[in-house]
Amino acid sequence: MIEVISEEAFGHAALARHPVWSEYYDFEEIEEVAGWGVNREWLASELAFKGNGSKHPYYSIPIEKLPVTRMRIYFAASFVTKGGAQLKGWILQNGFVIGIHLSPDENAVFSRHPQLEKFNDKELGKLVSFLKINPEEVFPLSIVLDARLPDIVHSQTFSPALPRSQW
C-alpha cells in the first residue's frame, strides 16, 4: 500500500518510512497508481485532502513499481561532504537537485542548473553554518541512495552550480 502526505509532512521521517516519493502534479498519475492495486477513489480523495487546494501532496512509491516516469521523484539518500561530514536528505531528477536535512523543517537545497548559482550560494551558507565548517569542505558530495533500487544509479558525486569565487 502507498502513503499520501501533505507537502509539509514530507521530510526525513517520511523518507525513513519509504525511500521513494513522488510529488503529485498530474491527474494521469492517479490512473497509473490505481493500476498498482490502489483504490482510485481513496487515492483521489487523499490527494485532494492532503493537497488542500493549493499545495502538491506526496505519495510513496513501492520499490517494486520502479522505474516510473515522473517530473518529481524523491529518493532517500546519504551524503558525505568532502571534509567527511555525514548527512541525510534526498535526491531529485537523478541527482540534478538535492536536499540535505538541516532540521525537521529545513533543508539546504542545491541544483546543478547554472542559472541557480546565487540560490546555491545562499544554501551553501545555510549548510556551512549548520555544520560549522568552511565552504571548501563541502563539495563534491558523495551520494549513496538509502535503498537498492532497480535501474537507478546507486551512488554518485554532486557539485552544484556556484559562483566561481567558491572554487
Lowest mean pLDDT: which of 18-22, 113-117, 158-162?
158-162
Instruction: Give tens-digit pLDDT for 40-53.
Output: 999 999 999 998 86
- Work out the pLDDT band at 152, boundaries 50, 70, 90: low
Q: What is the mean pLDDT of residues 104-113?
A: 93
Rg of the chain (C-alpha set) = 17
Instruction: Give tens-digit pLDDT for 54-77.
Output: 689 999 999 988 877 777 899 999
| 46 vs 81: CA distance, rounded Å | 38
- Work out the pLDDT band at 167, boundaries 50, 70, 90: very low
Domain count, the chain: 2
Check pLDDT > 80 for residue 154.
no
107-112: long-range contacts at Cβ-Cβ below 8 A with a sequence spacing of 24 or more?
107/11, 110/158, 110/160, 111/160, 111/161, 112/158, 112/159, 112/160, 112/161
| 2 vs 62: CA distance, rounded Å | 7
* Statement to judge: residues 84 and 152 lie in one domain: yes
Q: Is 30 among the domain residues?
A: yes
* Statement to judge: residues 61 and 81 lie in one domain: no
Q: Which of 97, 104, 106, 101 is nearest to 87 (CA)?
A: 101
Domain that residue 36 falls in: 4-65
**Mean pLDDT in the chain?**
91
Residue with cell 499545495: 55
- Work out the pLDDT band at 149, boundaries 50, 70, 90: confident
* Statement to judge: residues 55 and 83 lie in one domain: no
* Statement to judge: residues 120 and 136 lie in one domain: yes
User: Is the separation of the CB atoms in 123 and 110 below 8 Å?
Assistant: yes
Q: Is 51 among the domain residues?
A: yes
Q: What is the mean pLDDT of residues 114-129?
A: 96
Check pLDDT > 70 for residue 166.
no
Residue 153 confidence (pLDDT): 66
* Statement to judge: residues 61 and 77 lie in one domain: no
* Statement to judge: residues 148 and 103 lie in one domain: yes
* Statement to judge: residues 99 and 151 lie in one domain: yes
| 156 vs 145: CA distance, rounded Å | 9
Q: Is 167 among the domain residues?
A: no
| 14 vs 89: CA distance, rounded Å | 11
Q: Is 35 among the domain residues?
A: yes
Q: Is 166 among the domain residues?
A: no
| 126 vs 138: CA distance, rounded Å | 12
Is the entire prediction scored with pTM above 0.85? yes
* Statement to judge: residues 36 and 86 lie in one domain: no
* Statement to judge: residues 53 and 85 lie in one domain: no
